[in-house]
């Protein structure tokens, strides 16, 4: 079996593949100050629960948090005996990356692009609602052109609360109207309708600039929620990054 691991700024997401089937997935909170031993205990407990007696023979990691990469690499090596493949320069992805400096592209964005191409084909726009919200634009034939990065939904909410005296922290639940009738509803409408409108406008501008009619897909923790407030998002892919990691591992066997 294959263990895939995506190290993000907020969460570390694991998945187990048996061939092409995702049989289990789980997540841990990303903690920069956690030791290797702490991650070993947390990961080992969940791995045992999810995999049971099944043997993990291979592993692959993508990371956008450099301090956590050696820790998780060591943990996976210790728990499985496998030397993880790390997504980065020199790893075959099948993409023609046209970023000015390809090393600046987050590994998760490359992984998402690989997965999106496999499922939908170019041209496409992949929107990831993570700690940062990112847009990745892929043209034919498998050209990773670049994208857009701006603060994610959690960052926006936290900033709003921390920098104002009277606005409360709210749970991000759906709203049925644009004009809020109380503070909580107004904040939620601003975040959800505002994010949806921003997605739509940016997609329109990308299409105009690049002269494309792309498939637009979304992933990340808020993808399902934001989809209801956007006319552009056609698909939500909850396992996009895990799927992309499996594809990249297969291309480097």
Q: Residue 11: which CATH number?
A: 3.30.420.40
| Mean pLDDT value across residues 220-238 | 97
- Rounded distance, CA 12 to CA 10, Å? 7
Interval 98-115: pLDDT, tens:
999 999 999 999 999 999
Residue 248 resides in a domain: no
**Which of 86, 112, 141 corresponds to the end of one domain?**
86
Give yes or no for a contact between 82 and 57, defined as CB atoms under 8 angstroms apart: yes
The percentage of residues in the chain with a pLDDT greater than 90, rounded to a whole number, is 95
Position 49 confidence tier, pLDDT thresholds 50, 70, 90: confident
Q: What is the CA radius of gyration of the chain?
A: 19
108 is annotated as an active-site residue: yes
Q: Which of 18, 37, 96, 108 is catalytic?
A: 108
Residue 63 CB burial class (10 angstroms; 0-12, 13-18, ≥19): buried
Same domain, 157 and 199: yes
Please give the distance of CA 197 from its chain centroid, rounded to a whole number: 21
Give yes or no for a contact between 69 and 86, defined as CB atoms under 8 angstroms apart: yes
**By residue range, what is the domain housing residue 117?**
96-240
Interval 208-224: pLDDT, tens:
999 999 999 999 999 99
Same domain, 38 and 162: no
**Which of 86, 115, 138 corresponds to the end of one domain?**
86
Overall domain count for the chain: 2
- Rounded distance, CA 199 to CA 208, Å? 14
**Which of 86, 113, 133 corresponds to the end of one domain?**
86
Interval 60-96: pLDDT, tens:
999 999 999 999 999 999 999 999 999 999 999 999 9
């Amino acid at each position: 079996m294959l263990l895939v691991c995506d190290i993000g700024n907020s969460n570390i997401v694991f998945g187990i593949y048996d061939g092409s089937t995702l049989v289990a997935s789980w997540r841990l909170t990303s903690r920069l100050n956690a030791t290797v031993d702490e991650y070993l205990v947390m990961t080992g407990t969940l791995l045992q629960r999810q995999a049971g007696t099944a043997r993990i023979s291979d592993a692959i990691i993508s990371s956008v948090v450099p301090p956590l990469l050696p820790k998780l690499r060591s943990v996976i090596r210790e728990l499985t005996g496998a030397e993880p493949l790390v997504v980065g320069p020199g790893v075959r992805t099948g993409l023609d990356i046209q970023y000015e400096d390809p090393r600046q592209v987050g590994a998760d964005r490359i992984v998402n692009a690989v997965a999106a191409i496999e499922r939908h084909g170019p041209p496409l726009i992949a929107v990831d609602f993570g700690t940062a919200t990112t847009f990745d634009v892929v043209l034919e034939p498998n050209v990773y052109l670049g994208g857009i990065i701006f603060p994610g939904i959690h960052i926006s909410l936290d900033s709003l609360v921390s920098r104002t005296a009277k606005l409360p922290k709210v749970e991000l639940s759906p709203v049925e109207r644009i004009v809020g009738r109380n503070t909580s509803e107004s904040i939620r409408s601003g975040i959800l309708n505002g994010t949806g409108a921003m997605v739509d406008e940016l997609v329109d501008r990308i299409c105009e600039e690049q002269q494309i009619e792309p498939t637009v897909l979304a992933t990340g923790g808020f993808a399902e929620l934001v989809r209801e407030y956007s006319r552009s998002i056609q698909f939500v892919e909850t396992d996009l990054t895990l799927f992309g990691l499996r594809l990249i591992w297969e291309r480097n066997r």
